[in-house]
Amino acid sequence: MEFRQIEYLVAVAETGGFSRAAARCFVSQSAISHQIAALERELGTELVDRSARGGKLTDAGEVLLPYARQLLSLRDDAVAAVTPHPDRIRIAANMSFARSALAAVAAVRERHREAEIDFLLKPFGQRIDAVVSGEADLALVRGSVDHDELYLDPLWVDQPVVAFSSRHPLARSGRGPGPADLGEYPLVLPPADQQILLHRLVERVFSRAGVDVRYGPQIREGHPVAFELINHPESWTILYDDPLQPGIVCRRSLEFTLPVSAVLRNDSTPNQLVAEILTELSNGFRRT
């Protein structure tokens, strides 16, 4: 089955005959007839009643018609997804980047009213795959990426916050706690396969300070972090940003930092929109 056979069948159905279908598809009438006959042989059933005036779909042809239209639509969507468009860019990220990305997109859209800028929500691995496949023009990530087809454009350095219940002993101090302070209390985090970057960050900082990490219960999927901290007021955790929630205290600590970068393909040169988005993302962080 070939796309041109599907296209010719749809053209016959929509124009009401072989001659008009041929004119619409810019081919000869015999080409239309030949390709539809080949499709009929492959499927083992007649799709067009040639005895009818001009050509009319059989019952089998009518059954196939909506699927044929769907196949053509999927083909067009697939082509559009990987075809470069100077006025459209796609950013793959997660919700922790939404505020930064929104500000950058708004600034660029003010200068380019015709631009289409999409924000694709994806977990870390899928963000990388989206850039490699061309589904996304760039991805926002924390940490590093080791991939032969990609490179990192550094944007800023994130400083995650240390969070704990307002009843925690460290909540009374106004300074950012370090590993020596935190080592006395249990750390609650999601499992490493869900938050590998935070696990690596904590282990790196504590190892550098010569302090052992004291792990508490894992935060289970679907359980809000704030509730875990309130239910375990002696515990603490690391968050990418201050959630500003009642009963939760956050402190920034100089030891906890994560580089934020844009991931791009080696074989592509950022167009003007991508370049401006990267500039706005970087400048936006400096302004905050």
Asked if 213 and 201 count as a contact pair (C-beta separation under 8 A), the reply is no
Q: What mean pLDDT value characterizes the chain?
A: 88
- Nearest partner of 255 among 151, 189, 177, judged by Cα: 177
pLDDT score of 244 more than 70: yes
User: In Å, what is the CA distance from 132 to each residue of 125, 147, 263, 283?
Assistant: 11, 9, 10, 26
Each residue's pLDDT tens digit, 18-41: 888 888 888 888 989 999 999 999
* Model confidence, pTM: 0.61
Each residue's pLDDT tens digit, 187-203: 999 888 878 888 989 99
For range 51-72, the mean pLDDT: 88
For range 108-120, the mean pLDDT: 88
For range 191-220, the mean pLDDT: 90
pLDDT score of 287 more than 50: no
Each residue's pLDDT tens digit, 132-143: 998 999 999 998
Phi, psi of 154 (to 5 degrees): -60, 140
pLDDT score of 208 more than 90: yes
Which pLDDT does position 285 carry in this prediction? 54
Secondary structure of the chain in HEC code, one letter for each residue: CCHHHHHHHHHHHHHCCHHHHHHHHCCCHHHHHHHHHHHHHHHCCCCEECCCCCCEECHHHHHHHHHHHHHHHHHHHHHHHHCCCCCEEEEEECHHHHHHHHHHHHHHHHHCCCCEEEEEECCHHHHHHHHHHCCCCEEEEECCCCCCCEEEEEEEEECCEEEEECCCHHHHCCCCCCHHHHCCCCECCCCCCCCHHHHHHHHHHHHHHCCCCCECCCCCCCCCHHHHHHHCCCCEEEECCCCCCCCEEEEECCCCCEEEEEEEECCCCCCHHHHHHHHHHHHHHHHC
Query: Going by DSSP bridges, is the β-strand pair 138-142/88-93 parallel, antiparallel, or unpaired?
Result: parallel
* Reported confidence tier of residue 86, pLDDT bands at 50, 70, 90: low
